[in-house]
Amino acid sequence: MKSGFKALVAALCLFVALPAWAGSLQVKGSTTVLPIAQKCAEAFMKVHPDIAVSISGGGSGNGIKALIDGTTDVADASRFIKGKEVKRVVENGRYPVPFAVAYDCIVPIVHPSNTVTNLTLDQLKKIYMGKITNWKDVGGPDENIVVISRDTSSGTYEVWEHKVMTKERVYQRAQLQASNGAVAQTVAKNKRAIGYVGFGYLNNEIKGLSVNGITGTPATTLSGTYPISRALFMFTNGWPKGDTAKFINFVLNPATGQKLVKDAGFVPLY
Amino acid sequence: MKTPRAFRETCIKNFFLLTACISILVLTLIMAFLFIQGMPIFKTVPVTDFLFGSNWYPTSEPPDFGILPLIAASLAVTFVSSLMAIPLGVMTAIYLAEICSRRARNIVKPIVELLAALPSVVIGFFGMVIVAPFLQDYFDLDTGLNLFNASIMLAFMSIPTICTVSEDAIYAVPGELKEASLGLGATHWQTIAKVILPASLSGISTAVILGMSRAIGETMVVLMVAGGAALIPLSIFDPVRPMPASIAAEMAEAPFQSDHYYALFATGMVLFIFTLIFNMVAEHIAHKHKQTGAATL
């Protein structure tokens, strides 16, 4: 009985000690950044087998919440940290440090059968405000426009709101979908629809539009000429040290992480 | 001094008491959490503005937290799906309990119950990929992701509940009632319509309300096929955004303990109150009109 108890205690100690003994790293946050984090973590663990990186999604808000609570080492976010959030992090005795890890370029999409190929920012804004409701007003067929938007709390929507809507509200009839994939799926199934997705989600079933005559590509995103783009971030608690620093360096390195950024369908920094 | 036997009995009794208490405890904790997280929104937005405001713009500056379109959407999908599910569910139950042979019953009943086993995300996917394009082309609609599509999918989900519970109720009608009716010269159909249905009405009502509470709380299906536009529906082909869809879609990205976060919890409270009312009504009907033997009819 007694020796059994001792063995149990020993096993428990080992179980508790093991993760601390090998290095471990938590990465949490935006679903947009998730594919980048995932690919980087896989490659990173091959190079550093002694460091276990665990990745989870849940959204930019949740990632930063985890940084506030101290339950994550790296918080992914598809937007910059908000003033209120910075205040909460600092109140909890931490300090958020942002690293831009990639750029995302958001492309308006339509059904492939749609004849429209270019829209101006102003036309996009009017469509999303419900002021232009027929495709013929922007040079397309005589059909109603079905507006697909993202959830108001998603990072993608926030970029759209800032770059396209400029302080106007997306009108109520706009259908809000919960993910980039769902928007692509909805537009692919509806020939009257217009939506917007990250550059990485473009496929053969949907057609990307150019904006103000500029096609959204890595080159136009980095040069800043394409109007609807954003930086993606990883936040650390204080200037990264140890395993966290190794991971951030790996992600920012043009030879390792940035290649994977490109593979994941985003625009690398260099 | 208790005998070991009595002691063991007490132990077992307390153990079962404990297990019963766990679920009550969990419910209480969840409710407490829901209310603690939901109430702070009423510091910034008055209750009436929250419940009856018709604009849901939680992230604009300044934000609008009016959940009337979400409540209207939830009630509308529940109502339209009930219109489809109640006749189908109840008639299937009558067929199973009264009309079909034992053999047919052994085949049909498990199949209907299997419908309940379909994961809601699969039903949602079916609605999104198969039903939506069909509705779009067939009715020449702007979008197939709308109130009507969501209601069909929700009807699929509430039929098994309605059917199983009402079948039990119909089955439990005392045999002598049926025999008496048939003995008086009534036809089988007259017996069903005039004797068996009235006798099992309380059970059927419970079934209907349970089915409706299943529909109003369902999340995945409405998230995928309802369209997600926060407007008060004027046609059954309008896209809508029921409460559970809004909570599920926005919670992940809502900044922790912001007004938006509190507003989503408060929406959860409203949803909880709706399902609570449904369940209390069902409980009340089941209790009040409890059929015990032929004498009370």
- In this prediction the ipTM stands at 0.74
Q: What is the model's pLDDT at position A6?
A: 55
Q: Which of B223, B248, B255 comes nearest A85 by C-beta?
A: B255
B133 contact residues in A (CB cutoff 8 A): 189-190
Q: Which of A82, A151, A178 comes nearest B255 by C-beta?
A: A82
DSSP state of B168: H
Which chain A residue shows the shortest CA-CA distance from B255?
A61
Angle, alpha carbons B104-B110-B112 (nearest 5°): 95
Q: Which of A61, A85, A167 comes nearest B252 by C-beta?
A: A61
A96: closest CA among A120, A124, A73? A73
Q: What is the model's pLDDT at position B294?
A: 55
Q: What is the model's pLDDT at position A32?
A: 77
**Identity at A185, one-letter amino acid code:** Q
Which chain A residue shows the shortest CA-CA distance from B264?
A153
Which chain B residue shows the shortest CA-CA distance from A186?
B128
Entry pTM: 0.76
Q: Compute how many other C-beta atoms are within 10 angstroms of the C-beta atom of residue B230.
A: 28
Q: What is the model's pLDDT at position B240?
A: 93
User: Average pLDDT, stretch A110-114?
Assistant: 93
Cβ contact (<8 Å) for A152 and B60?
Answer: yes
Chain A closest CA to B176's CA: distance in Å? 56
Which chain B residue shows the shortest CA-CA distance from A144?
B142
pLDDT at A30 over 90: no
In whole angstroms, give the CA distance from residue A108 to residue A91: 40
Name the residue with tokens 């999409």. A109
From chain A, which residues contact B within 8 Å (Cβ)? Answer: 31, 57-62, 64-65, 68, 82, 84-85, 88, 144, 146, 151-155, 157-158, 161, 167, 169, 172-178, 182, 185-186, 189-190, 192-193
Which chain B residue shows the shortest CA-CA distance from A162?
B60
Per-residue pLDDT of B96-123, as tens digits, reads: 988 888 899 999 889 988 888 889 999 9
Q: What is the model's pLDDT at position A194?
A: 94
- Higher pLDDT: B256 or A7? It is B256
B218: closest CA among B120, B297, B137, B294? B120
Q: What is the model's pLDDT at position A7?
A: 54
pLDDT at A22 over 70: no
Q: What is the model's pLDDT at position A69?
A: 87
| Percent of chain A whose pLDDT exceeds 90 | 29
Give the confidence band of A21 by pLDDT, cuts at 50, 70, 90: very low
Q: Answer whether B239's CB lies under 8 Å from B144's CB.
A: no
Q: What is the model's pLDDT at position A14?
A: 46
Q: Which CATH architecture has domain B41-296?
A: Orthogonal Bundle (1.10)
In whole angstroms, give the CA distance from residue A90 to residue A82: 12
Q: Assign B119 to helix, strand or coil.
A: coil
Q: CB-based contacts of B26: which residues, under 8 Å, 6+ apart? A: none
Chain A closest CA to B245's CA: distance in Å? 9
Q: What is the model's pLDDT at position B228?
A: 86
Name the residue with tokens 């979400």. B70
> For chain B (length 297 residues), average pLDDT per consecutive 10?
81 93 93 93 91 87 88 94 94 91 90 88 91 89 90 93 91 87 90 89 89 90 89 91 90 78 93 91 80 54
Mutate to test the interface with B, among A176, A177, A179 (most CBs of B within 10 A): A176
Encoding tokens for residue A87?
């205040």
Q: What is the model's pLDDT at position B25?
A: 95
User: Average pLDDT, stretch A35-44?
Assistant: 89
Encoding tokens for residue B46?
């008055």
Chain A closest CA to B191's CA: distance in Å? 50
Cβ contact (<8 Å) for B129 and A189?
Answer: yes
Chain B closest CA to A82's CA: distance in Å? 9
Cis peptide before A141 (omega within 30 of 0): no
DSSP state of A25: E
